[in-house]
Amino acid sequence: MSVPLQVILFARPLVRGTVKTRLEPALGADGALRLYEALLRYVVSVCQAAELGPLTLAYAGDRPGAALAALGEALGARLVSQGSGDLGDRMARALGDALEAGAWPVLLGTDLAGLKPGHLTAAAAALRAGDDYAFAPAEDGGYGVVAARRLDPELFAAMPWSTPSVMKETAGRLAALGRAWTRLPSLYDIDGPEDLPRLEDHPVLGPALATLSHVSPS
């Protein structure tokens, strides 16, 4: 009997002024929120297309908020809190919970405009082939997807998150642990205004971006 997969999407409550704040100078607070929701829905659609397994929305903070809760209900997704700690603490907790429940987790973020179903199916194939992990590096030096069939907490502890050295440091730790892993195709995410031109030709997010104002309200 094959081990089931669990897709875990890290998300933030859909609250104006709390998501994609680096985009506010270009899009305004309302525009940043609307683009974040478009990114979230796009990533969800990719997860659905990959057909790996049930979707869990892991929200930051104490409550998911009404909008994210409604989206989760509409999707039939399970909503759970990411819990406390830094990003590494929360990622390790999410991976560990899935593994303890008897599933191999595939964990990803919400701003991955470059995500394709192939990233997720390749991650699943790597685990089924016997690798301990699969990572999809991000072009900014981090990574956007991690799949695991075991948990080594030291891969996520004391990591210089949001720096260009995250994937390189992770690869070094994997080598030191002697873990087998697959490097998936790189992808890009959307962080600041400099990234917005990449969306203009995006078949899904391009039209969403075109509806937003590029002038911040006073």
> How do residues 28-54 score in pLDDT, each as one tens digit?
999 999 999 999 999 999 999 999 999
Strands (E), 49-195: 55-59, 78-81, 104-108, 133-137, 143-148, 181-183
pLDDT interval class at 216 (50, 70, 90)? very low
What is the per-residue pLDDT across 122-163, written as a single tens digit (0 to 9) for each?
Answer: 999 999 999 999 999 999 999 999 999 999 999 999 999 999
| pTM tops 0.85, yes or no | yes
CA distances from 42 to 33, 55, 79, 182, 211 (A): 14, 14, 18, 25, 16
Asked if residue 115 lies in contact with residue 187, where contact means CB atoms within 8 angstroms, the answer is yes
Backbone φ and ψ for 22, nearest 5 degrees, come out as -70, -20
**98/83 Cα distance (integer angstroms):** 14
For residue 2, the model assigns a pLDDT of: 84
